[in-house]
Amino acid sequence: MKTFDLTFRPMDEASAREILTWRYEPPYDIYNEDPDKAGPFVQTLLDPAYAYHTITDEDGELVGYCCFGADARVPGGDYSADALDVGLGMRPDLTGQGHGLDFFTAIFDFAQRAFAPQALRVTVAAFNRRAIRVYEKAGFERRQAFQRSGDGMAFVILVRQSIPPDAR
């Protein structure tokens, strides 16, 4: 994956169905989707209210996806502060290879251009130290740790103030 030329497009059904097939190794397998729930999963990714986008490389290959807003939140977290919530996923065969910061920076830059938020917020499973390191390298700061409603899984919320367009 060459991250210098990533393209963002609104999610389409074929990409949503491809993402459904992605399989991560433990402990990241919590991000695997249940193929038996394909219909609801695809409908969520296609719902304009969640602003899901595909991310493709210069060859048109699907390398990841992102979403903005409510679907990036985890039940149990405090989301009362004004910030744009960002959710994301990278294709499993590309994870753990040092692409994370470039990939996330591209998403961060896209979010600033598309939504001009005052701040960006990410919520990540507390065990996912790889992702937390990437977010912290990108200038995000830990704001909250909490346990997800329902199963008690630990999560962390990180926030970064946006850079005004005229300051870039």
Per-residue pLDDT of the chain (168 residues; tens, 9 = 90+): 444 689 999 999 999 999 999 999 999 999 999 989 999 999 999 999 999 999 999 999 999 999 999 999 999 999 999 999 999 999 999 999 999 999 999 999 999 999 999 999 999 999 999 999 999 999 999 999 999 999 999 999 999 998 655 554
The answer to whether 89 and 49 have CB atoms below 8 angstroms apart is: no
pTM of the shown model: 0.92
**Quick one: pLDDT at residue 165?**
53
CA distance 105 to 50: 20
Domains of the chain by range and CATH? 3-167 (3.40.630.30)
The answer to whether 100 and 124 have CB atoms below 8 angstroms apart is: no
Q: Which amino acid is at 85?
A: D
* H/E stretch holding 103: helix 100-115
The tokens of 134 are what?
Answer: 């990437």
142: alpha, beta or left? (left if phi > 0; alpha if psi -120 to 50)? beta
The tokens of 73 are what?
Answer: 């939140």
Alpha-carbon torsion 25, 31, 34, 38, what sign? negative
Coil, strand or helix: which one is 41? Answer: helix
